[in-house]
């Protein structure tokens, strides 16, 4: 299934309202859990960004340790 921005918006709205059912046009889908919905949302965003020629955003975490390092 090719996802659209409307699919993403519908899923985000359902997550924000706390419901597990989402209507996509003439179809209604009921998910088993919030984590399943979040996983699908991530996949949808990735596919829509890929179709638009955008690279997915990456998170970078930098760590800093102060001190001499001797224990």
Paired tokens of 58: 């990456």
Give the pLDDT confidence score for residue 56 in this predicted structure. Answer: 57
pLDDT at residue 2 tops 90: no
Which stretch of 17-21, 27-31, 55-59 has the lowest confidence by average pLDDT?
55-59
pLDDT at residue 58 tops 80: no
SS3 content of the chain, % helix, strand, coil (to 5): 45, 10, 45
pLDDT at residue 61 tops 60: yes
Band of pLDDT at residue 35, cut at 50, 70 and 90: very high
Please classify residue 57 by burial: count the beta carbons closer than 10 Å to its beta carbon, then call 0-12 exposed, 13-18 middle and 19+ buried.
exposed
């Amino acid at each position: 299934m090719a996802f659209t921005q409307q699919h993403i918006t519908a899923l985000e709205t359902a997550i924000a309202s706390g419901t597990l059912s989402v209507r996509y046009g003439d179809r209604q889908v009921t998910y088993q859990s919030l984590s399943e919905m979040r996983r699908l949302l991530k996949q949808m965003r990735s596919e829509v960004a890929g179709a638009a020629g955008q690279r997915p955003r990456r998170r970078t975490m930098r760590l800093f340790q102060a001190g001499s390092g001797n224990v």
